[in-house]
Amino acid sequence: MTRHRRDENGAAPDDWLSIGEVSARTGVAVSALRFYEELGLIASERDDRNQRRYPRHMLRRVALVSVAKRIGIPLQDLREAFADVPLDRPPSHAEWQRASRVWRRQLEERRQAIERLEAELTGCIGCGCLSMKACALLNPGDALAEDGAGPRRL
Amino acid sequence: MTRHRRDENGAAPDDWLSIGEVSARTGVAVSALRFYEELGLIASERDDRNQRRYPRHMLRRVALVSVAKRIGIPLQDLREAFADVPLDRPPSHAEWQRASRVWRRQLEERRQAIERLEAELTGCIGCGCLSMKACALLNPGDALAEDGAGPRRL
DNA sequence: TGTTGACCTCAACATTACTTGAGGTCCTAC
DNA sequence: GTAGGACCTCAAGTAATGTTGAGGTCAACA
């Protein structure tokens, strides 16, 4: 569907952003934006010159992709996190909230992993006790009371 | 320097681990261990059959590499974090402590980034206010009071 | 004796996340 | 009327982080 600069709601031209504008406002490279679109993480429509036009609400989505990437969440996981957030219209409050629950769960896990490592560094290494046997850090599954000694599945 | 199973301190053979043993005890694949060695993150000596032999204290180092990777720290940053921890002898308590300060600084940064994102998801998205203008999350430099509007350098 | 298993090297391949380049369209400004 | 800029597509290249495979050595075990 080719879309022009003025949509059926009579929105002003400014309501659609070019890829260059999105790049400038989010700090994400133009090439990365096209790549994210290819992955389905973001979406755009086209104007009469076949150039991408982004609705404003896409800025938020791009920003979240960018931040998540900085934190180290793989883009594939992001797709899951965005699964129920629509691409073709501004997501509702409830939709963002549902999505944010998924995000928070992912972030929680990461934060806890980091906190465990911080604790270990302060405790085990600080005191020299890093034993390779009982250390929770070295056994992230937290469930390896199996037979045999030594950590598994790092 | 080719080294045999009994070093000049008269240490027992068990004090040296084969690459298979290190892999089993740390959960890190044999191929990954060789790769880490290539990067200089870990080190080994060779026995009379040219096979790698690892001193026990290398286990701790391998475990830290593995954990750091899980948390998303690039291996290059790890080299910095390990800069003052010797490879050729068991690091002293003081050496581990110095290193652990570097680690904690890195971890602290990552943890704060995640906490900021968590806060934003709870606050901004939860309430629908993610404004793209004043949001600290979207402006991680925390120092962009420059001229012009909109975030930069995501 | 022969075959199995653990190890070796070196090269090639895989995945993620992009960037760069070649070749083209359109609009605007000089 | 042409030069520049912003955009387009598609293909190839890059960096990080390994894995896989081919071809070889050596010791131990049945």
Tokens encoding A136: 């929770």
Query: Does residue B7 surpass a pLDDT of 60?
Result: no
**Of residues A22 and A138, more confidently modeled:** A22
**Of residues A90 and A70, more confidently modeled:** A90
**Arithmetic mean of pLDDT, B100-121:** 81
Adjacent-strand bridge partners of A45: A53
**Arithmetic mean of pLDDT, B58-81:** 89
Query: Does residue A112 surpass a pLDDT of 80?
Result: yes
Q: What is the pLDDT of residues A126-136, one digit of tens each?
A: 454 444 444 55
When pLDDT is cut at 50, 70 and 90, the band that residue B15 belongs to is confident
Give residue B148's pLDDT: 32
Give residue B8's pLDDT: 37
Query: Does residue B80 surpass a pLDDT of 90?
Result: no
User: Which of strand C's nucleotides are less than 7 A from any protein C-beta?
Assistant: 6-9, 16-20, 26-27
User: Which residues, 6 or more positions from B100, have their beta carbon under 8 angstroms from its beta carbon?
Assistant: A121, A122, A125, A126
* Angstrom distance (rounded) from CA A48 to CA A58: 20
Rounded to an integer, what is the distance from CA A149 to the centroid of its chain? 38
* Angstrom distance (rounded) from CA A91 to CA A51: 23
- The reply to whether A122 Cβ lies less than 7 angstroms from strand C is no
**Arithmetic mean of pLDDT, A52-75:** 91
Q: What is the pLDDT of residues B86-110, one digit of tens each?
A: 998 998 888 888 888 888 888 888 8
* Angstrom distance (rounded) from CA A97 to CA A78: 15
* Angstrom distance (rounded) from CA A98 to CA A24: 29
Q: Which of A63, A104, A114 sits opposite B71 (nearest CB)?
A: A114
Distance A139 CA to D14 C1' (A): 35
**Of residues B74 and B151, more confidently modeled:** B74
* Angstrom distance (rounded) from CA B137 to CA B145: 14
When pLDDT is cut at 50, 70 and 90, the band that residue A142 belongs to is very low
**Percentage of residues in chain B having pLDDT higher than 90:** 36
Give residue B123's pLDDT: 64
- What backbone torsions phi and psi does residue B140 show, to the nearest 5 degrees? -65, -25
* Residue found under tokens 């969440």: A73
Q: Please give the mean pLDDT across all residues of chain A.
A: 76
- Dihedral sign (CA B87, B31, A144, A107): positive
Q: Please give the mean pLDDT across all residues of chain B.
A: 76
Q: B-contacting residues of A 52-111, CB under 8 Å? A: 59-60, 63, 66-68, 70-72, 93, 96-97, 99-100, 103-104, 107-108, 110-111
Structural domains for chain A: 13-139 (1.10.1660.10)
Tokens encoding B60: 């701790």
Residue among B53, B63, B67, B61 nearest B17 (CA):
B53
Query: Does residue A151 surpass a pLDDT of 60?
Result: no
Q: What is the dihedral of CA B93, B98, B99, B104, to 10 degrees?
A: 120
Host H or E run for residue A16? strand A16-17
When pLDDT is cut at 50, 70 and 90, the band that residue A140 belongs to is very low
- The reply to whether B123 Cβ lies less than 7 angstroms from strand C is no
Tokens encoding A93: 């409050």
For chain A, count helices (H), then strands (E).
6, 3
Give residue A135's pLDDT: 53
B145: left (phi over 0), alpha (psi -120 to 50) or beta: alpha
Structural contact between residues B62 and B28, judged by C-beta atoms closer than 8 angstroms: yes
Distance A95 CA to D19 C1' (A): 40
CA angle A131–B63–B28, rounded 5-degree value: 125
Q: What is the pLDDT of residues B31-50, one digit of tens each?
A: 999 999 999 999 999 999 99
For chain B, count helices (H), then strands (E).
6, 3
Give residue B142's pLDDT: 36
Q: What is the pLDDT of residues A3-60, one digit of tens each?
A: 333 343 444 446 899 999 999 999 999 999 999 999 999 999 999 999 999 999 999 8
Tokens encoding B144: 């962009």
**Percentage of residues in chain A having pLDDT higher than 90:** 37
**Of residues A71 and A152, more confidently modeled:** A71
* Angstrom distance (rounded) from CA B40 to CA B18: 18
User: Which residues, 6 or more positions from B107, have their beta carbon under 8 angstroms from its beta carbon?
Assistant: A114, A117, A118, A121, B71
Adjacent-strand bridge partners of B54: B17
**Of residues B132 and B20, more confidently modeled:** B20
3-state secondary structure of B56: coil
